[in-house]
Amino acid sequence: MTGRRCYELGAGVGLTGICLALLKPKSLVLTDYDGDEEGQSVLKNLEHNLALNGLLTTEPPVQDASGISDHLFERQEKSTVDIELLDWFGATEESLASIASNVDLVFAADVVYTPSIVTPLVRVIHGLIKAAYPKKLQVLIAGTLRYANTFKSFLEELLEGDVAIEEISKAVRVEPLFLYEGANDVLLYHVIDSRFEGP
Ligand SMILES: C[S@@+](CC[C@H](N)C(=O)[O-])C[C@H]1O[C@@H](n2cnc3c(N)ncnc32)[C@H](O)[C@@H]1O
């Protein structure tokens, strides 16, 4: 991820994005839609969490009396992050083409949680990969197995496009860090344009 142009779909509270920022990508854009059923703004909350972590591009520098604070130093060590609105239901072919021209790696963590989002999310992933070609845009998907059937239909619908999907869960599996790990399996997938596959 270091030095790459990274983009996240459904960033939520921003934990994945904050971890990505620490890996010093060339650029990092975190996206989500602008409201949940309670009318809370997901993007506002995301912005707040990034600010708490000193990661907002627009944030003014924090300085102590000497003019250089530890906090500022830490911030310069990390990449800064941008927040953008991307609603999978409203994304157009043109908007996806414009995103794809500025991005190398797309991340999506725990975004397959209800059947209604499967088709629009798959359309966004296909649209980004297709628009980027002949550049190789890589999509990394982390799926928490909440509802096996929903995730299965997501993978099936994803395979209907001209993409190659590789499960890389085992390759990147690390020892559990938290007590609750293991309760839900997390599967990781790497998705690219199928024209990059084969001899
Ligand atoms: C289960 S959360 C995962 C959040 C985050 N990626 C994580 O792993 O903590 C699913 C995310 O998908 C977002 N989402 C749901 N429908 C969406 C849509 N139509 N367009 C964009 N994002 C959407 C939600 O707002 C939420 O942030």
179 vs 68: CA distance, rounded Å: 39
**Nearest atom of ligand 1 to the alpha carbon of 113:** 1
Residue 28's pLDDT band, with cuts at 50, 70 and 90, is: very high
Residue 171, pLDDT > 70, answer: no
Cα-to-centroid distance, 197 and ligand 1 (Å):
30
Residue 8, C-beta contacts closer than 8 angstroms, at least 6 positions apart: 16, 17, 20, 28, 29, 30, 31, 106, 107, 108, 109
pLDDT at res. 119: 98
117 vs 59: CA distance, rounded Å: 33
pLDDT at res. 34: 83
Cα-to-centroid distance, 66 and ligand 1 (Å):
41
Determine contact, residues 109/10, Cβ cutoff 8 Å: yes
Q: Provide DSSP, 123-188.
A: HHHHHHHHHHTTS--EEEEEEE-SSHHHHHHHHHHHHTSSEEEEE-HHHH-----STTTTSS-EEE
pLDDT at res. 58: 54
Highest mean pLDDT among 14-23, 61-70, 139-148 belongs to 14-23
Domain spans in the chain, listed from the N-terminal domain onward: 1-87, 116-199
Ligand 1, CB within 6 Å, residue ranges: 10-13, 15-16, 32-33, 42, 86-89, 109-111, 113, 117
pLDDT at res. 75: 47
Residue 143, pLDDT > 50, answer: yes
Q: Per-residue pLDDT averaged across 152-162, rounded?
A: 96
CATH class of 1-87: alpha beta
Q: Per-residue pLDDT averaged across 10-21, rounded?
A: 94
Structure-block tokens of residue 54: 């000193």
pTM (two decimals): 0.87
pLDDT at res. 16: 94
Q: How many residues does the chain have?
A: 199
